[in-house]
Structure 1
């Protein structure tokens, strides 16, 4: 039976002020934390110097850092952090039953961890054994951000990830199929069975792909009484660029790998008309980006794309 010891994986990149704030929230938890592993994605804003001092300090938990030599995206960061925890467990250097994951802009309320474990302990031994993942409620700008917890709605020709309706957050817990890496608690033994994040996805969809593997080995639930505040204001309208490439590529890759082929075909037909054909409102350069993304997703050409690197944007909307 699980002893309910928790390690944290926190991924950061060039947001030192938010990182410091996040660390304070973990220090204030009413439930004990065994270790916090902070993964730095090659920051250039003073984060690395801060972490070199932080890791040697004292606090309520063991401190560990993983300093990456390049920006490996969210997938690389979370994968590196979870792999570090599993390696420490394997070497008997860490006793942990859960890994709680989040970015540096997600802040657990003081009793967030306690609420997760309280709910887990309320279950029968059999129900506990069936659980692979428990998630917190995500609140953004004072409102529940329902897009972080999804269910799969699948028909013969279509597979969609649909946000769980807000009214279900009145329950003690509810089942989910897809989670984000914001306030998500994953059992160590589930990670040992299915592995950690697919680092080749780089960014976007890495948590979705991981969800689809983890749901095969256990039940996944959201516990609304446990809350993470996500300090992420609206991003406004984004230009088509590197975000669009990775989002599209990885979604196609996931559809091909986990769903019937007809779901992939229908998705490609729809997006071809809307994004890639001459009937699209997109420019030639934008159409090329989406064509590349879809072909790479279908072929499994993952990792960082040499053209669509972070920061790439299409600013000229004239053909």
Structure 2
């Protein structure tokens, strides 16, 4: 005689998109082909001007819930809205997926089979190369660690086949991260003030500080449709957000005073070296980033745990 089986958990997929209708179509096709059918697919459209609306309005094969934002809120703002909608909808788990990946047909099934509160899929590129950048070591303790990401899944393992079934990671990308409802209830929502960059890393830090371990699930495969490029122009508009949001992570979550001082040190070094690299534009970016980060040391109120 066997005991009662656990009830089937529900899951809402959250997708944020902006002007990538053709990529979004591939993602939606992948979600429709899942062996574990999602209970909801919440799409936040960041004021796209291409044919995204036409794509979404013609999909009848998925349980779509679309939020049409009047402004581009960035990935951070979009995922904030999407996770809040998933929480308000009462689903047991929420799975965050960007619009430039396609899940293998059994990706969601593999995730739902793991009885852990925080999980993430594992990414390969179109050639089958492992490109999972989730940090295995994200150091907010050592003040000499200029870059907190000390190692990543794809720097430790040569390919996905070399990984064990579960690999503990310290941060995630919002390209495959999954959390149970109780995690959101405890730590809150992605911080919309980040706009882009580090909103996912900051959310993972909050989850781990609350006692939740995060596991990369080897067999939950996502295929990136675009080349993975983490190199950005630090003198351009993205550079401001990269500097500012990295500083905010240190100011909020640095484990000692020296780590929380690192943003000032980085600012000083960038300004001093600007005649040799980066120039005035990067120096201006880092100064503005430091000034803005100081005002973001506390979690944005709308990202706080629900009451």
Fold conserved between structures, TM > 0.5? yes
Check whether the contact 1:276–1:290 (CA below 8 A) recurs between aligned residues. Answer: no
Q: 2:206 matched to 1:213?
A: yes
Tell me, in whole angstroms, the C-alpha distance in 2 between the residues paired with 1:74 and 1:234: 17
What is the match of residue 106 of structure 1? 101
Q: Report SS of the residue matched to 1:116.
A: helix
Question: Whole-Å Cα distance in 2 between the matches of residues 236 and 84 of structure 1?
Answer: 29
> 1:86 aligns to what?
87
TM score, norm. by length of structure 1: 0.81
Distance 1:30 1:287, change over 3 A: same
Name 1:281's counterpart in structure 2: 277
Q: Which residue of 1 aligns with 2:45?
A: 40
CA distance in 2, matches of 1:224, 1:151: 18
Measured after TM superposition, the shift of residue 237 of structure 1 is 5.9
| In 1: Cα distance, 2:230 partner to 2:244 partner | 22
User: Retained in 1: the 8 A contact 2:165–2:218?
Assistant: yes
SS at structure 1 position matched to 2:75: helix
216, 220, 226: which one aligns with 2:220: 226
Give the aligned CA root-mean-square deviation in angstroms: 2.3
The answer to which of 186-195 and 247-256 deviates more is 186-195
Pick the aligned partner of 2:242 from 221, 243, 247.
Answer: 247
Does the 8 A contact of 2:95 with 2:178 survive in 1?
yes
Whole-Å Cα distance in 2 between the matches of residues 28 and 278 of structure 1?
50
Q: 1:223 and 1:189 mapped to 2: Cα distance?
A: 20
Provide Cα deviations, 1:2-46, integer angstroms capped at 9, x if missing partner: 733211001110000011111000000011211111110000002
Q: Distance in 1 between matches of 2:58 and 2:266?
A: 51
Match of 2:157 in 1: 166
SS at match of 1:179: coil
1:13–1:43 contact (8 Å) kept in structure 2: yes
Counterpart check, 1:77 vs 2:78: yes
Given the alignment, which residue of 93, 101, 122 partners 1:137? Answer: 122
Tell me the matched-pair count. Answer: 282
Aligned partners of 2:286, 2:117: CA distance in 1, in Å? Answer: 35
Residue 51 of structure 1, aligned match among 32, 56, 76: 56
1:22 corresponds, among 27, 30, 45, to 27
Contact 1:190 1:217 in 2 (8 A): no
Structure-2 separation of matches of 1:267 and 1:19: 36
Gap regions ≥5 residues in structure 1: 90-95, 121-127, 303-319
- 12, 25, 36: which is aligned to 1:31? 36
Give the TM-score normalised by the residue count of structure 2.
0.84
1:206-264 CA deviation, whole Å, 9 max, x = no partner? 00111111122422111111110111215496432111000100110110000122113
Residue 9 of structure 2: aligned partner: 4
Give runs of aligned pairs for residues 290-301 of structure 1, distance below 5 A.
290-300=286-296
User: Secondary structure of the residue that 1:218 maps to in structure 2?
Assistant: coil
Gaps (5+ residues) in structure 2?
A: 1-5, 299-307
| 1:148 Cα deviation after fit | 3.0
